[in-house]
A and B are shown apart, each in its own frame.
Chain A
Amino acid sequence: MPSPETDRQWQTLLADDEESWRPAPPSLKARLYSALIRQQQETGPLASLDVSVADGHDVCIFEKLVQIAPVSGAAKSPFFCTACHSRVLAEHFDNPPIFWAHCPYVQFKT
């Protein structure tokens, strides 16, 4: 068995260091977000977009169209990003060409 001092030196050598900090790639964050939303949907509908807005969150232009539509709260619950090209781009590229405000997938770029 190595001495405690040797163990300590190995710990120093193999310790985490701040320089090697690696943030998650934006495309990975996008895929994780999609996976988490899918998991949430398995246990019932998502909160309506009205709830998100009431919670103080901004919605993207497409979500806004849904949010102001004269339909029930239940109709505003599906995960509309499933059908949006920005999700597809964000899941595949770390710097996807999507720029509109308040899209969750744009948020992962920064």
Chain B
Amino acid sequence: METEPGIKAPSETLPSYQERQLVEQVLSKDRKATAEFVSFCADSVHSFVRKRLTPRVELVEDLMQEILLAAWQSLPKFRGDASLRAWILGIARHKTDDYYRRRLREADITEEGGSPVDPAVEPLLDRLLDAAAGQDRGERTLNLLPEAYTLALIWRYRDEKSVREMAELSGKTEKAMERLLARARENFRKEWNHAQS
């Protein structure tokens, strides 16, 4: 099954013939099949989108609606090479990328200033990773950062985009993107330490 980096799909899947049947019925505008389709994909899409829009969770519903409508419009192109859920998550990824691109284009990111500050981070990160509730706390820390920093960190480290891709997609230079990431990491560390003290 095709998977997106960092996405955990729920374990229950449909056999491929049932997926094709569901797709055909949704395309014929069978309302019952459409309800089944929403039930089938909403949880995965919600979990994916929510973790990428944090802390702007008020935007989740609009983006989910956009994703499901785009999925329905693209269903005639569904070939069954990947599972239906993975295929829809691919659409979700494109839509969240669009959102990141728009937001980072609008963000005031410059190349100005001194060298990006990245102090000896390895020992710090080792400590972060050792923490029992490290990821939960990481999520809370992300929520405290300015939006551009949160988006940059999630795009880079959760979605595993390269700095070059991020720069190209958001219309910024690589240097500006590196500076943004360095400031984002620094702010993350400060917030993390602040919460600990």
Contact = CB atoms under 8 A, between A and B. Distances in A.
Contacts of A16: 6-8, 51, 158
B189 to A, nearest CB: 11
Contact of B34 (A28, A31, A37): A37
A51 interface: yes
A55 B34 CA distance: 12
Interface in A13-43: 13-24, 28-29, 31-33, 35-37, 39-40, 43
B91 to A, nearest CB: 14
A9 B129 contact: yes
Given A28-B42, A32-B65, A55 B25 contact: yes
A33 B34 contact: yes
A57 to B, nearest CB: 4
Interface stretch (B78-86, B92-100, B120-128): B120-128
Interface residues of B, number: 53
Given A16-B51, A33-B38, A47-B28, A57 B33 contact: yes
Contacts of A40: 29, 34, 72
A20 B34 contact: no
Nearest to B25: A55
B75 to A, nearest CB: 11
Given A20-B51, A51-B30, A55-B30, A2 B135 contact: no
